[in-house]
């Protein structure tokens, strides 16, 4: 194992986090322009929803595969495959969109090409990076504290991408609707070169452990997977509906809604980054304690969002939600890896990636569907969900046993 506390271990982890940031930022740069672009291309809202769903389904279905391949092929090759595939997918999407705007292609053919490039190719490639980065951190860290710090760095990279991606896409769109579509693959290509140059190649003499599968119903794993899925689902519900909520409650114009929605999302992403970069490494909490604190803090944030009547309270609520995610995500990502043996690390990373992707696939559907019924319905569901998760995190026997074991190990380490 390579300790992440020394320079030899820290730099590769940072490069893995850079890959996570690049793929997610590329996705977030493109996502804000997809609704207006879809209408320019003649797509219905449902057709755009299918593109999102296909991409998310690809991540859910292939994350376990990529997790196992990262252990058998090596982390560096899989990260390069992911980045190159993401570059090809986004670049192909840009070309298809540019041709589509000329009216040269019939809508059914255009939709099929967009589905293949943005949905299938990019979705399958994107799925490989988060699970490989998580597997890499598990592979190069030995102690629980090192692993939590490494996983918090991955979470911070995701939070930073959530903040930077939409902001950069909004700036670039001033040069034209398609500019972000071409800049995103360039960023991925540059990161691929940095990974190729900077990430150490696998040692020739190193024998990689045989990889084995892990069931999501494994009694060690499912409590963590369930809690992490719930946290991400609650966040996705808010992120996908907060723009509607702002416009309807405050009677805003479309331009005002876009600007304030960006600020509210930035508050959440900023707190995710702050907690994971500053608080988590210094507190040294165990994964179960991080999960418990995360569920409680997120519940408080969702209550504020539900009751908010102005943009200030809504911003405070989403910031508290972000803080809760900042605590919960490192616990969700590191806890299962500490319970798995070396042969299972790739499969565990795949399960974590699948549960996250499934949450972001279902969140938009659940959130928007409930919002059409009643504007407060998504947030009432989110509050009930998070409250239930908080009770589950404190009461579940498996998590209680894990917490007790972690406390004993921490006490032994102090002695």
- DSSP character string of 51-98: HHHHHHHHHHHHHHHHHHHHHHT-HHHHHHHHHHHHHHHHHHHHHHHH
pLDDT at 85: 92
Please write the tens of the pLDDT for every residue from 53-103: 777 777 777 777 887 787 778 888 889 999 999 999 999 999 998 998 888
Considering only residues 304 and 200, tell me which one the structure prediction assigns the higher pLDDT: 304
Q: With 0.75 as the threshold, say if the pTM is over it.
A: no
Q: Which of 62-66, 201-205, 214-218, 333-337 has the lowest mean pLDDT?
A: 201-205
Helices (H), 275-310: 280-283, 287-307
Q: What is the pLDDT of residue 5?
A: 40
Contacts of 228 (CB under 8 A, 6+ apart): 291, 328, 329, 332, 333, 352, 355, 356
Please state the domain extents for the chain: 1-200, 214-410
Backbone φ, ψ for residue 120 (5° rounding): -80, -60
pLDDT of 302 reads: 94
The pLDDT assigned to 4 comes to 40
Interacting residues of 114 by C-beta distance below 8 A, sequence separation 6+: 41, 43, 51, 93, 96, 97, 100
Name every residue whose Cβ is closer than 8 Å to that of residue 387 and which is 6 or more positions away in sequence. 299
pLDDT of 245-264, one tens digit each?
777 777 766 556 656 766 77
Mean pLDDT, the chain, whole residue set: 78
Owner of token pair 């590191």? 334
Q: Is 112 helix (H, G, I), strand (E, B) or coil?
A: helix
Q: For the beta carbon of residue 277, count every other beta carbon within 10 angstroms.
A: 18
CATH architecture for segment(s) 214-410: Up-down Bundle (1.20)
Q: What is the architecture, at CATH level 2, of domain 1-200?
A: Up-down Bundle (1.20)
pLDDT band at residue 169 under the 50/70/90 scheme = confident
- Return the number of other C-beta atoms located less than 10 Å from residue 274's C-beta: 17
d(CA 303, CA 34): 30
334 contacts: CB under 8 Å, gap ≥ 6: 144, 147, 148, 150, 151, 287
Q: Do domains 1-200 and 214-410 have the same CATH topology?
A: yes
Tell me, what's the pLDDT at 9? 53
pLDDT of residue 211: 59
**161, 129 Cβ separation under 8 angstroms:** no
Q: How far apart are CA 138 and CA 76, in angstroms?
A: 14
Confidence of residue 222 (pLDDT cuts 50, 70, 90): confident
The pair of three-digit structure tokens given for residue 14, joined into one six-digit string: 């940072």
**Burial (CB count <10 Å: 0-12, 13-18, 19+), residue 176:** exposed
């Amino acid at each position: 194992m390579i300790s992440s506390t020394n320079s030899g271990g820290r730099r590769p982890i940072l490069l893995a986090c850079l890959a996570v940031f690049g793929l997610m930022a590329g996705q977030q740069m493109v996502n804000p322009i997809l609704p207006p672009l879809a209408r320019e291309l003649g797509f219905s809202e449902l057709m755009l929803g299918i593109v999102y769903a296909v991409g998310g389904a690809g991540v859910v279905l292939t994350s376990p595969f990529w997790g196992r391949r990262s252990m058998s092929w090596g982390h560096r090759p899989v990260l390069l495959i992911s980045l190159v595939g993401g570059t090809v997918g986004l670049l192909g999407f840009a070309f298809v969109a540019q041709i589509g705007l000329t009216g040269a292609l019939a809508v059914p053919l255009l939709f099929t090409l967009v589905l293949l490039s943005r949905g299938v190719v990019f979705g399958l490639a994107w799925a490989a990076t988060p699970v490989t980065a998580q597997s890499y951190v598990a592979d190069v860290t030995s102690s629980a504290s090192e692993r939590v710090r490494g996983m918090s760095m991955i979470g911070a990279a995701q939070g930073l991408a959530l903040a930077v991606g939409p902001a950069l896409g909004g700036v670039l769109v001033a040069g034209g609707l398609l500019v972000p579509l071409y800049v995103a693959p360039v960023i991925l290509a540059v990161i691929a070169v940095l990974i190729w140059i900077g990430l150490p190649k696998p040692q020739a003499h190193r024998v990689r452990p045989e990889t084995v599968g892990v069931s999501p119903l494994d009694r060690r794993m499912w409590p963590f997977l369930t809690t992490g899925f719930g946290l991400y689902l609650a966040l996705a519900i808010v992120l996908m509906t907060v723009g509607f909520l702002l416009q309807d409650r405050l009677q805003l114009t479309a331009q005002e809604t876009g600007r304030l929605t960006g600020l509210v999302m930035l508050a959440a992403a900023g707190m995710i980054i702050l907690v994971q970069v500053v608080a988590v490494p210094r507190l040294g909490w165990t994964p179960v304690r991080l999960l418990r604190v995360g569920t409680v803090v997120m519940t408080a944030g969702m209550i504020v969002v539900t009751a908010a009547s102005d943009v200030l309270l809504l911003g405070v609520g989403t910031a508290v939600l972000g803080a809760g995610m900042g605590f919960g995500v490192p616990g969700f990502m590191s806890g299962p890896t500490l319970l798995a043996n070396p042969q299972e690390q790739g499969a565990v990373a795949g399960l974590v990636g699948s549960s996250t992707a499934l949450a972001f696939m279902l969140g938009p559907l659940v959130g928007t569907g409930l919002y059409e019924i009643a504007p407060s319905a998504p947030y009432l569901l989110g509050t009930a969900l998070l409250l239930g998760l908080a009770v589950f995190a404190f009461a579940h026997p498996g998590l209680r046993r894990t917490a007790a074991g972690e406390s004993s190990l921490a006490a032994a380490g102090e002695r």
